């Protein structure tokens, strides 16, 4: 049975039992006090159902449902006894559940307030004593066999078993009352020690528990005295005290993370509870998908965390110190979790009402997963933008320092030749200078995007790149790869990765031999560049150009691995997805 079905069943039992018991006891038309009895019996199961459905992680809702179901069944048993003048074991045991209802609302509702957990381990013995007392009181009432229609009358025949049952019931009732007093005292202490934002919530729970406990004890004396009018008032007070306290706490102090409000131009009743993990992640996924800019994604993430946990502010801080915040950063950091992989952290300011609990930390840790993806995306884009800017500046510098200067010299030579009437030798020198400038310009263009790559493909471009190297270099490729063409970004990424690895082997490794291998695996193109140079320690060496190319491969869904040891050469593996 699913949790929703179970919650609905318990709520239905509580609501239908309370209403049916009231109408069975009086018949139709029912007097006002019976209608009040039935209506008040609907509040607790409705609140319990709402909490268990919207906040299944909060065990407090199940406590309300259990109490409501016990009350509804007990009211139904009493109504059946009154209506049909039947005092058999069924109605006796049903009516005995009143003791369970009182015990749950006197002891466990205030003890487990507000999140369904004990305040500390020191309260475990109190909880056990309370549970045993409630069981003794309930079972004793069921075995004693008092007619629910005549609660003040004793059975006609008192057997030994009935006497022992009466003693167990009386002892359980006394322990229930004493335990309830201890719990109420502890609730008062927690109220006095609570923060300002929580004090109103605790105050109403203290008031509701105290009134219900007092009315319940008073009800016992009224039953013994058979003051039936006062019994009705006492019973309604017992029923109303806790729901009224909870509802006032909700309206005025957002008790249990519930709010009432208006929506739209018409009057609506809104139960606005804290979203679940799935709800926050679903909304966050939609927001991130609609936000292409990585930095804006971090802002959306911070806003989702702030709203989901009702924080005054939330911030996402990257490892490099970049910080994106949502809300005014008033007050210090109240809760923070690291993002996986050391990419940064998520920080929360103080909560708008109350304090953060374990469920809040669990929600924040769940949000750290999409936070890591957003941070990775933002960092990757930032590195690519920086790499593009560096490449633009490199090309600008090469043009300025190389081809531009050669063209200026060529123009000056031509102007001088025109003025002086230069002979054939001077014109030959100018012609050679123009050819050299053209060669340099072609080499510069090849560094941007080589023509061999556009015309002949990856294998031909790599072979041309390695053909004029000053050290022996072999290029091997899988059969059939030479005739294959791939997307421009795939071929460009692999070509420049191989070129950078070969350049590093020449400049830094003092290699005597270089091997390049191109392969086509299912769904990906691979390149391996190996040399017999001096090698290095990858953990301590800066990768420079390869780091930029690794980001480029990563953006395409590929990757790079570099293996090297001092004195043992270097081997670079790179791959990128491609249609097989």
Q: What is the pLDDT along the chain (580 residues), one digit of tens a residue?
A: 578 888 899 999 999 998 888 888 777 777 777 777 777 888 889 888 887 887 666 778 889 999 999 999 998 988 888 888 777 788 888 989 989 998 998 899 899 887 778 888 899 999 999 999 999 999 988 888 765 655 555 565 567 877 888 899 889 989 999 999 999 999 999 888 877 767 777 888 898 888 888 887 787 776 666 665 666 677 777 777 887 887 777 766 666 666 555 455 454 445 545 566 566 666 666 655 555 555 677 777 788 788 877 788 988 887 777 788 888 888 888 888 887 666 778 888 887 766 777 777 877 877 777 666 666 665 556 565 556 656 666 566 556 545 555 565 566 667 667 777 777 777 777 677 677 666 666 665 555 566 677 788 889 888 887 886 778 889 999 988 888 888 888 888 888 888 888 888 887 888 889 999 999 888 889 999 999 988 888 766 555 556 767 777 887 788 889 998 888 889 999 999 887 5
Cα-based distances in Å from 311 to 198, 410, 569: 15, 68, 54
Fold of 277-380: Beta-Lactamase (3.30.450)
The pLDDT assigned to 323 comes to 82
SS3 268: coil
CB of 546 closer than 8 Å to CB of 574: no
Strands (E), 319-433: 323-326, 335-339, 344-348
The pLDDT assigned to 229 comes to 63
How many C-beta atoms surround the C-beta of residue 550 within 10 A?
Answer: 19
Selection from 340, 331, 334 nearest residue 373 by Cα: 340
Q: Six-digit token pair at 128? A: 């056990």
How many C-beta atoms surround the C-beta of residue 489 within 10 A?
Answer: 12
Strands (E), 29-136: none
Q: Six-digit token pair at 277? A: 């993990």
| Class of 456-577 in CATH | alpha beta
Tell the residue number behind the tokens 């007093």, with chain if given.
181
Domain range annotation of the chain: 3-257, 277-380, 385-447, 456-577
HSE of 538, CA atoms in CB hemisphere, 13 A: 13
CB of 349 closer than 8 Å to CB of 312: yes
Q: What is the CA radius of gyration of the chain?
A: 40
Fold of 385-447: Helix Hairpins (1.10.287)
The pLDDT assigned to 123 comes to 92
Q: Six-digit token pair at 395? A: 């090309």
The pLDDT assigned to 401 comes to 47
DSSP-derived letter for residue 158 is: -
Q: In angstroms, rounded to a whole number, what is the distance separating the alpha carbons of residues 174 and 34?
A: 29
The pLDDT assigned to 146 comes to 65
The pLDDT assigned to 535 comes to 86
Q: Six-digit token pair at 469? A: 């190297």
Q: Any idea what the Cα angle at residue 213 is, between residues 210 and 219, rounded to 5°?
A: 135
Q: In angstroms, rounded to a whole number, what is the distance separating the alpha carbons of residues 498 and 232?
A: 90
């Amino acid at each position: 049975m699913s949790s929703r079905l179970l919650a609905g069943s318990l709520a239905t039992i509580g609501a239908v039992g309370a209403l049916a018991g009231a109408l069975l006891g009086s018949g139709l038309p029912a007097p006002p006090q019976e209608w009040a009895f039935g209506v008040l019996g609907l509040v607790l199961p409705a609140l319990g159902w709402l909490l268990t459905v919207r906040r299944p992680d909060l065990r407090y809702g199940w406590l309300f449902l259990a109490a409501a179901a016990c009350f509804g069944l007990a009211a139904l048993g009493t109504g059946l006894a009154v209506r049909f003048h039947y005092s058999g074991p069924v109605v006796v045991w049903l009516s005995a559940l009143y003791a369970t209802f009182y015990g749950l609302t006197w002891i466990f509702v205030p003890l487990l307030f507000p999140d369904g957990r004990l305040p500390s381990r020191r309260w475990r013995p109190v909880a056990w004593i309370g549970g045993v007392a409630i069981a003794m009181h309930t079972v004793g009432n069921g075995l004693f066999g008092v007619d629910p229609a005549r609660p003040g009358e004793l059975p006609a025949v008192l057997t030994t078993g009935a006497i022992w049952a009466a003693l167990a019931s009386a002892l359980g009732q006394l322990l229930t009352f004493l335990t309830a007093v201890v719990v109420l005292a502890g609730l008062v202490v927690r109220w006095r020690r609570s923060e300002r934002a929580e004090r109103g919530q605790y105050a109403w729970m203290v008031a509701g528990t105290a009134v219900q406990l007092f009315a319940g004890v008073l009800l016992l004396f009224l039953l013994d005295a058979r003051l039936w009018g006062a019994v009705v008032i006492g019973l309604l007070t017992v029923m109303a005290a806790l729901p009224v306290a909870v509802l006032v706490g909700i309206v005025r102090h957002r008790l249990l993370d519930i709010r009432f409000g208006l929506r739209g131009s018409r009057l609506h009743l809104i139960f606005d509870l804290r979203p679940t993990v799935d709800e926050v992640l679903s909304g966050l996924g939609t927001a991130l998908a609609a936000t292409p800019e990585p930095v804006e994604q971090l802002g959306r993430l911070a806003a989702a965390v702030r709203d989901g946990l009702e924080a005054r502010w939330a911030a996402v801080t990257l490892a490099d110190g970049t910080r994106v915040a949502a809300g005014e950063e008033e007050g210090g950091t109240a809760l923070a979790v690291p993002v996986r992989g050391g990419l940064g952290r998520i920080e929360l300011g103080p909560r708008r009402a109350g304090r953060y609990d374990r469920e809040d930390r669990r929600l924040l840790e769940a949000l750290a997963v999409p936070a890591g993806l957003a941070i990775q995306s933002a960092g990757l884009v930032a590195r690519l933008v920086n790499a593009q800017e560096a490449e633009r500046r490199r090309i600008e510098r090469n043009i300025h320092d190389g081809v531009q200067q050669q063209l200026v010299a060529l123009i000056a030579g031509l102007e001088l030749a025109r003025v002086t009437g230069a002979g054939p030798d001077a014109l030959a020198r100018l012609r050679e200078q123009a050819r050299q400038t053209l060669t340099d310009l072609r080499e510069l263009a090849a560094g941007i995007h080589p023509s061999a790559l556009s015309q002949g493909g990856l294998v031909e471009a790599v072979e041309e790149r390695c053909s004029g190297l000053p050290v022996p270099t072999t290029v091997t490729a899988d059969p059939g790869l030479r005739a294959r063409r791939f997307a421009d970004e795939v071929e460009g990424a692999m070509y420049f990765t191989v070129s950078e690895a070969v350049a590093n082997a020449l400049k830094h490794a003092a290699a005597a031999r270089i091997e390049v291998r191109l392969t086509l695996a299912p769904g990906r193109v691979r390149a391996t560049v190996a040399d017999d140079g001096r090698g290095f320690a990858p953990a301590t060496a800066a990768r420079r150009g390869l780091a930029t190319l690794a980001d480029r491969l990563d953006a395409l869904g590929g990757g790079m691995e570099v293996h090297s040891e001092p004195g043992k050469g270097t081997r670079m593996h790179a791959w990128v997805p491609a249609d097989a």
